[in-house]
Amino acid sequence: MLRPATDADQESVRVWRNHPDVQAVSLTQDEITPEMHEQWWAAVKQDPSRLVLMYERRDQPAGVVNFFDITPEGTSPRSGMWGYYLDNAGLTASGTLLPAWMQIQREGARYAFEELGLDILEGEVLDHNEAVRSMNQRSGFEEIDSYEREVGGKPTLVHRIRRTRDQQKA
pLDDT in tens, 3-42: 999 999 999 999 999 999 999 999 998 999 999 999 999 9
151 within domain boundaries: no
Q: How far is CA 153 from CA 27, 33, 82, 158, in A?
A: 11, 19, 23, 14
Pair type for strands 120-126 and 79-86: parallel
What type of residue sits at position 165? R
For 30, the domain range is 2-124
107 occurs within a structural domain:
yes
Give a yes or no: residue 150 inside a domain: no
Residues β-bridged to residue 64: 54, 85
Task: Please compute the mean of the pLDDT values over residues 62-88 and round it to a whole number.
Answer: 96
Q: How many CB atoms lie within 10 A of CB 116?
A: 17
DSSP state letter for 69:
S
Task: Give CA–CA dist 30/38, Å, rounded.
Answer: 15
Q: Per residue in 104-161, pLDDT tens?
A: 999 999 999 999 999 999 999 999 999 999 999 999 999 999 999 999 999 999 999 9
Instruction: Check which CATH number belongs to the domain holding 46 and give it.
Output: 3.40.630.30
- How many domains is the chain partitioned into structurally? 1
Q: pTM score, two decimals? A: 0.93
The answer to whether residue 120 is domain-embedded is yes
Query: In whole angstroms, what separates CA 129 from the centre of its chain?
Result: 14
Distance CA 105, CA 140 (A): 11
Q: Is residue 140 part of a domain?
A: no
